[in-house]
């Protein structure tokens, strides 16, 4: 059998521009496997251990906010509003 655990936490600061994340993979134990094989003239016992414990801290910051301008002119916006009011 194989059991593992992944945990993660993320928090945003400064109007969501700064993001700090912490992730942990198998934080409590390493993965261990034991295999037993039996035959008429032998017994085989195999052990395997794999250190999968891993921690990650990431920090990202958005330097600028891109404000997308409307592609419609003011005249087109007013016309669309009037059309919506009539509908």
Question: pLDDT tier at 2 (50, 70, 90 boundaries)?
Answer: low
Q: Which residue in this structure is represented by tokens 């085989």? A: 44
Phi, psi of 78 (to 5 degrees): -65, -40
Q: Is the pLDDT of residue 76 over 70?
A: yes
Q: What is the pLDDT of residues 25-64, one digit of tens each?
A: 888 777 777 889 999 999 999 988 777 788 999 999 888 7
Domain boundaries, the chain: 1-63
Is the pTM value of this prediction over 0.85?
Answer: no
Give the contacts of 61 (CB within 8 A, at least 6 positions apart). 17, 18, 19
* Pair of tokens at residue 87: 């509908």
């Amino acid at each position: 059998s194989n059991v593992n655990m992944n945990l993660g936490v993320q928090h945003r600061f400064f109007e969501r521009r700064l993001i700090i994340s912490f992730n942990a993979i198998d934080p409590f134990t390493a993965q261990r496997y034991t295999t037993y094989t039996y035959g008429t003239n032998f017994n085989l016992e195999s052990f395997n251990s794999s250190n999968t414990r891993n921690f990650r801290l990431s920090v990202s910051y958005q330097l600028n906010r891109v404000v997308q301008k409307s592609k419609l002119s003011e005249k087109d916006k007013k016309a669309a509003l009037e059309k919506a009011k009539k509908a």
